[in-house]
Chain A
Amino acid sequence: MSGNTASTAIQVSGVSRRYRNTTALDEVTVSFAEDQIHGLLGRNGAGKTTLMSIITAQAWPSEGQVRVFGQAPYENEQVLPKICFVREDQRYIDDSLAKHAFKAAAAAFPNWSWDLAERLIADFKLPQKTRIKKMSRGQRSAVGVIIGLASRAEITFFDEPYMGLDAVARQLFYDRLLEDYAEHPRTIVLSSHLIDEIAHLVENVVVIDAGKILLDEPVEDLRGRAVTLVGKAEAVAEISAGREVLQHEEMGRIARSTVLGALSEAERQRIKDLELDMIPVSLQQLVIHLTTRQAADGNANTALTSAEENAR
């Protein structure tokens, strides 16, 4: 867990959320350290939005409790102004222009920065005279992203911010996020299923699937935790012996194996001698492998495979 060095911004303890027939969250316990960028990963319907809604007091748990800066956020005006959560499908006031939404946000968030907002409006080329409901998907996403960034809220959630944004706009968002985060450190939670795309941004990864937390680790610990070896089957077998194999394929005499655990210096030398190719495992693949292994039923398998497909 990453909560040892930094203090905890959000503590979720034993939170369940049940609807009539479904369990959206199942005894979730997780914490988010202060002044870090967290990735909240999982497929659609995994419980990401429900978790964020409960943390931000837009919804409430069936069981368990949430503490934000040590306080329950529900109806708590001491904590709520420090939180910003613009939904991916956020509804705005009908007939409003982007400037209306920004004015309202400026009045609501104590740390709001008009300088940043105006810069982002120019960056995203947001139309000034188009009503929000008439905007394209990407422009609507940009409105939410601008509110999230310019609010400079102590805790900011970005709900699938890439939805509707094209590659250029997404890169712009990531660049501006990192720039402003460097100047104004705060707790940021990015929800996404494009793991690799946000891998270089996030310091901590929380993976949620079917309402359960599957993984909660610093990105650094995850990197180098697995490696894919490609080469002669017997050579691959020699190195992977005694290790947990996450994935294994054989085509004739060539094998391709993804194994868990860091490699020692001697092993690296041996891999060279055996003329094996060593391919680093991307965060996305690692998460897929780990979650597939950990999932009790087959759900996570199909879930994250589809996430992988989407990423391509």
Chain B
Amino acid sequence: MSTAQQTVDARSSYARIPAAFKLQFTVPSMLIWVPLLVFAAAWVIAVGIGVWIHAVAGGQTEPIYTGAANAPLWTLVAMAAYAASHTFPFSMALSYSRRVFVIGVFLAFGLVSLAFGAAFALGAGVERLTGGFGLEVYVFDLPYLTQGAGGVASAGALAAGLCLFLMMFGFFWAILYRRVSITMVWVVIIGLVIILLGAAMLVTQNSGWATVWRWFVEQSALSLAGWMVLPVIGITAVNYAVIRRATPG
């Protein structure tokens, strides 16, 4: 179509993506303040436990590697599911197409994931510089994440990629629940379990576990982060397919 044919108020079909993106931050507690709170709390608690161990053990102990960094990650997954179930009906009242809504969600979750990855890398950097606050308590600077190519930055990249995938996965369950009955949700869960079991059996039958483990060992945090692109694209496409036929009522 030539531009002359277009009326003055003709808009791009993607003109409302920035607004759909901002929709996710309408109530900033959901994707910003609560995850930040959990992030800070998990870190403080982990370091606090380290201080306590030092006090009890009386002096030098082995370095402590904790899984506290999981806490903000799973908080974000829960918040992503929550956001989907609450912003979707409202986005319908605001007359967003489902496509624009999903793109907005993807961009918002993407930004949050990048922020999480950056915070992860920053935390790892601080721990590296201070030797785990002089106590050797590590929440982020975990050797298997930060010793490969790219160092702490690669750990941040993997954290960001994993975070985006898990957030879209949390979103998937919430949207699926909107679309189908609770029975169907469980059918899907059972189906996924069967597929995973089938894959595991196939690997076992072909004595392939050694190959699988070798593959993982050969990966660095950076290359794993690169591989995350595939499941992220996959789950985003699945989410759009599910939401296309979801109703807000």
Contacts and interface: CB of A to CB of B under 8 A. Distances in A.
Interface string A82-106: 1111110111111110001101110
Contacts of B211: none
Interface residues of B, number: 35
Interface stretch (B19-27, B52-60, B63-71): B19-27
Contacts of B99: 75, 77
B11 A87 contact: no
A270 to B, nearest CB: 54
Contacts of B30: 93, 95
A308 B19 CA distance: 43
Interface stretch (A53-61, A226-234, A291-299): A53-61
Contact of B26 (A53, A76, A103, A144): A103
A305 interface: no
Interface string B1-24: 000000001111111101100110
Contacts of A86: 93
A83 B205 CA distance: 57
Interface in A1-18: none
Contacts of A104: 19, 22-23, 26, 90, 94
Contacts of A53: 247, 249
A105 B94 CA distance: 6
Contacts of B23: 104, 107-108
B130 interface: no
Contact of A93 (B19, B90, B95): B90
B11 A91 contact: no
Contact of A95 (B27, B90, B248): B27
A58 B244 CA distance: 10
A81 B27 CA distance: 22
Nearest to B20: A108
A147 to B, nearest CB: 7
A108 B249 contact: no
B93 A93 contact: no
Nearest to B13: A77
B100 interface: yes
B87 A93 contact: yes
B194 interface: no
B174 to A, nearest CB: 12
Interface of A: 49, 53, 56-60, 75-78, 80-87, 89-96, 100-101, 103-105, 107-110, 144, 147, 153
Interface of B: 9-16, 18-19, 22-23, 26-27, 29-30, 82, 86-87, 89-90, 92-100, 244-245, 247-249
5 contacts: A75-B244, A87-B93, A87-B248, A105-B94, A108-B19
